[in-house]
A and B are shown apart, each in its own frame.
Chain A
Amino acid sequence: MSVFNVFSIAGSALTAQSARLNAVASNLANADSVANSNGQPYRAKQVVFAATPVGSEGGQGVRVTQVVDSAAPLRLQYDPQSPLANEQGYVSMPNVNVVEEMVNMISASRAYQTNAEVMNTAKSLLLKTLAIGQ
């Protein structure tokens, strides 16, 4: 039944977008975390999406294949008083780009809304189908 597959497809997109929102929340929360448990500054996390087949008729859902650390260079901040400063007096700060994260957040929330709407439409169509013959 194709319309039931719509639920799986939109559901996989909801899961993927919420994982992305999770990453954004983590990045924004740690935008100033100078040292984590390894003594290294926090690095921004990015989720990687990939299409994945759903059902047997060519429907494609989304799946988070991996969460990668951002390769952007660490932000250097001049703070000679800090115990973490290097010889030149610079402290390595996390490579979180706040503007990028906000854009990511808006994009994820819009995509989430759209897919929730897709689910609602599929639901109303299925309820209408159930009402055939009544």
Chain B
Amino acid sequence: MISRLDNEFQFSQTALNLRAYRQELLASNIANADTPHFKARDIDFKSSLQTALGQSGNSAGPLELAQTSERHLQGEGGNRFGATVKYRNEYQSSVDGNTVNMDVERAAFAENAIHMEALLTFVRTQFKDLSAAVQP
């Protein structure tokens, strides 16, 4: 029974975690809008979610470095959500090497926040449905 409950919320949980992580990355981009040589980063939400849910076409998962010694550094292939962080393409280059485009970042931030709110609403509805089902 408990594992079924877990399965019920698995998707929302994974998606929410990824949304929260993307929110953090976008906040980093906005915070560093004036930092010289800072490169804006983002994740591709769709492929990250597929990887995190184990539904990706390639079963290998995120790209990782082979470690032949325990003292090797870990590759930056993915984080604990399995998301691959990529650098954003540059639209207008600036002299100080910064690639943050404020309009793009703010739009992505707002979009991500709305998606996250939608997900939270779905989760609340799921909870309501389940508690309605277990009412005596």
Contact = CB atoms under 8 A, between A and B. Distances in A.
A33 interface: no
A132 B13 CA distance: 12
Interface stretch (A22-30, A76-84, A111-119): A111-119
A132 B128 CA distance: 10
Contact of A9 (B31, B123, B127): B31
Given A57-B21, A128-B117, A51 B32 contact: yes
Interface string A52-63: 001101111110
Contact of B36 (A49, A114, A124, A131): A49
A3 B24 CA distance: 6
A125 B117 CA distance: 7
A59 B32 CA distance: 11
B116 A60 contact: no
Contact of A118 (B27, B36, B117): B27
A74 interface: no
Contact of B31 (A2, A62, A125, A133): A62
Interface residues of B, number: 32
B30 A59 contact: no
Interface string A69-105: 0000000000000000000000000000000000000
Contacts, number: 103
A34 interface: no
Interface in A32-72: 48-51, 54-55, 57-62
Given A57-B21, A114-B102, A132-B120, A6 B32 contact: no
B80 interface: yes
B26 to A, nearest CB: 8
B23 A61 contact: no
Interface of B: 16-17, 20-21, 23-25, 27-28, 30-36, 38, 41, 79-80, 85, 102, 106, 109-110, 113, 116-117, 120, 123-124, 127
16 contacts: A10-B31, A12-B31, A50-B35, A51-B28, A57-B79, A59-B28, A61-B28, A62-B32, A62-B34, A107-B34, A111-B34, A114-B102, A115-B30, A118-B109, A132-B124, A133-B124
Interface of A: 1-3, 5-6, 9-10, 12-13, 17, 20, 48-51, 54-55, 57-62, 107, 111, 114-115, 118, 121-122, 124-125, 128-129, 131-134
Across the A-B interface, the 6 shortest Cβ-Cβ residue pairs? A13-B31, A2-B20, A60-B28, A6-B27, A49-B35, A2-B24
